[in-house]
């Protein structure tokens, strides 16, 4: 079968021939791209272990001009660590995860499946009953979250070995990840050639650019699933973090966390984060939606510029008052899933040796809405063979000097 070739410009100094070669490697099992001997300044490459089938996993350590450091592996596109300064200049790792490949492959992790730091696809979030139709043909996916499909099925993009190419450009330095998902993988139609670019900029932002092409009409919804704790990984709680979400509405869910189809106002509910609100301040309220999610696990409908809905707009801002760390999220996507770490139970022990307990990390997943293929009133996730799926999200890091 002839594999899809990318036809867009990289924008990171790599040729189209390199992209095509990278896509072919990804389709046959991934790899490091063979560039360890010609790494750009600010990027280091090292081995991160071996998969059960013998394929090697590589780790890329990327450092910007201000000392912010990100480590990412080509297994699952996982962001292992992200070190940023507090208001006094002290560095801490602010994302949950592990230092060992074995931890990500362990039965304990696979059973809990929190998706720490991973690229998510083909479809981020949930699809009801694992089923959708395209032009009258019904497709059945594996159900891995009760009756529903979550984050692409039993073996989503978070468990794939991606081809990785490090780069440096005028925008920053980072890694281009490519993976070609074969037609029918996890039940989805079409071969999907996917490229995700992580760029760490010198103005302290992580830019994530997602692109994909398909051979058949199919739904696509890619995202990134890092868990943040701005007090530092291993800190037991994110409940004192102050959160603002640029959304006046959200999508309520049923007891299996599938949206009902309603777009409901947040005003007067525990879901109103239009002004800075401490995350833990309303978690104890008697609310059906909080009960269904065991906390926050809901899609927020972002306020977008109707004249230019694909432009980057503010999605969220998080402040940790003691460290002064600030995380701002911008995206071209219409939705944001705020997840308050409701299913972390202390079973998994992270890099600092501390267990990841209830609400010790939060996720802010930029996305199209959950179950969009089955909700005609939601923004469409349908991608045609003559289209390029394109989405971009920016995580911006800073500090504020106000003491708590």
Angle at 149 between CA 144 and CA 152, to 5 degrees: 100
Q: pLDDT class for 27, splitting at 50, 70, 90?
A: very low
Q: Is residue 7 part of a domain?
A: no
- 365 given a catalytic annotation: yes
- Asked whether 225 and 151 are in contact (CB, 8 A), the reply is yes
Q: What share of the chain is helix, strand, coil (3-state, %, to 5)?
A: 10, 40, 50
The Cα 20–Cα 4 span in angstroms is: 8
Per-residue pLDDT tens digits for 136-165: 999 999 999 999 999 999 999 999 999 999
Look up the domain containing 268 and give its range.
16-399
CA–CA distances in Å: residue 117 to residues 114, 366, 389: 9, 14, 22
Per-residue pLDDT tens digits for 168-202: 999 999 999 999 999 999 999 999 999 999 999 99
What local confidence, expressed as pLDDT, does residue 35 receive? 43
- Asked whether 294 and 312 are in contact (CB, 8 A), the reply is no
Q: Is residue 337 part of a domain?
A: yes
The Cα 144–Cα 166 span in angstroms is: 33
- Is the confidence at residue 223, as pLDDT, over 70? yes
Cβ count within 10 A of residue 319: 23
Instruction: Give the CA radius of gyration of the chain.
Output: 20
Q: Is residue 136 part of a domain?
A: yes
What local confidence, expressed as pLDDT, does residue 308 receive? 83
Per-residue pLDDT tens digits for 233-244: 999 999 999 999
Q: Is residue 92 part of a domain?
A: yes
Total structural domains within the chain: 1
Strands (E) in 64-187, as ranges, are 69-73, 79-85, 91-93, 118-120, 126-127, 131-134, 137-140, 149-150, 163-169, 172-181
Strands (E) in 74-136, as ranges, are 79-85, 91-93, 118-120, 126-127, 131-134
Which phi-psi region, left, alpha or beta, contains residue 10 (left: φ > 0; alpha: ψ -120 to 50)? alpha
Average pLDDT, the chain: 92
283, burial (CB in 10 Å: exposed 0-12, middle 13-18, buried 19+): middle
What local confidence, expressed as pLDDT, does residue 402 receive? 74
What local confidence, expressed as pLDDT, does residue 404 receive? 61
- Is the confidence at residue 356, as pLDDT, over 50? yes
- 225 given a catalytic annotation: yes
Of the candidates 225, 241, 298, 368, the residue annotated as catalytic is 225
Of the candidates 69, 191, 320, 365, the residue annotated as catalytic is 365
Q: Is residue 10 part of a domain?
A: no
Q: pLDDT class for 37, splitting at 50, 70, 90?
A: low
- Is the confidence at residue 289, as pLDDT, over 50? yes
CATH number of the structural domain spanning residue 107: 2.70.98.10
Please tell me the least confidently modeled range out of 207-221, 270-284, 300-314: 300-314
Beta-carbon contacts of residue 60 (< 8 Å; ≥ 6 apart) = 43, 44, 45, 71, 72, 73, 74, 164, 166, 175
Q: Is residue 367 part of a domain?
A: yes
């Amino acid at each position: 079968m002839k594999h899809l070739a990318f036809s867009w410009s990289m924008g990171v100094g790599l040729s189209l021939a390199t992209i095509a070669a990278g896509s072919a490697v990804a389709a046959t099992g991934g790899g490091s791209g063979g560039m360890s001997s010609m790494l750009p300044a600010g990027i280091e490459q090292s081995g991160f272990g071996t998969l059960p089938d013998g394929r090697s996993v590589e780790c890329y350590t990327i450092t910007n001009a201000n000392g912010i450091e990100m480590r990412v592996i080509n297994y699952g596109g996982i962001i292992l660590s992200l070190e940023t300064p507090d208001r006094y200049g002290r560095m801490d790792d602010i994302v949950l995860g592990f230092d060992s490949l074995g931890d990500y492959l362990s039965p304990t992790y696979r059973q809990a499946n929190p998706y720490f730091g991973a690229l998510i696809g083909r479809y981020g979030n949930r699809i009801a009953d694992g089923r959708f139709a395209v032009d009258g043909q019904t497709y059945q996916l594996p159900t891995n979250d009760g009756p529903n499909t979550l984050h692409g099925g039993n073996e989503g993009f978070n468990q794939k070995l991606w081809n990785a190419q490090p780069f440096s450009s005028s925008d920053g330095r980072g890694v281009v990840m490519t993976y070609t998902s074969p037609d029918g993988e996890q039940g989805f139609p079409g071969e999907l050639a996917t490229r995700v670019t992580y760029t760490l900029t010198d103005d302290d932002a992580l830019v994530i650019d997602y692109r994909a092409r398909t051979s058949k009409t199919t739904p696509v919804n890619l995202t990134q699933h890092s868990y943040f704790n701005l007090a530092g990984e291993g800190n037991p709680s994110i409940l004192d973090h102050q959160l603002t979400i640029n959304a006046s509405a959200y999508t309520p869910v049923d007891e299996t966390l599938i949206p009902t189809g309603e777009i409901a106002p947040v005003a007067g509910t525990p879901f109103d984060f239009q002004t800075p609100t401490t995350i833990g301040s309303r978690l104890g309220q008697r609310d059906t939606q909080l009960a269904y999610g065991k906390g926050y696990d809901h899609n927020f409908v972002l306020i977008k510029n109707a004249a230019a809905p694909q432009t980057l707009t503010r999605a969220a801002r998080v402040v940790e008052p003691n460290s002064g760390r600030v995380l701002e999220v911008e995206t071209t996507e219409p939705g944001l899933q705020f997840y308050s770490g409701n299913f972390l139970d202390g079973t998994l022990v992270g890099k600092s040796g501390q267990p990841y307990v209830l609400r010790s990390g939060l996720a802010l997943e930029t996305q199209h809405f959950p179950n969009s293929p089955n909700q005609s009133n939601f923004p469409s996730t349908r991608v045609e063979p003559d289209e390029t799926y394109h989405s971009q999200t920016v995580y911006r890091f800073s500090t504020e000097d106000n003491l708590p």
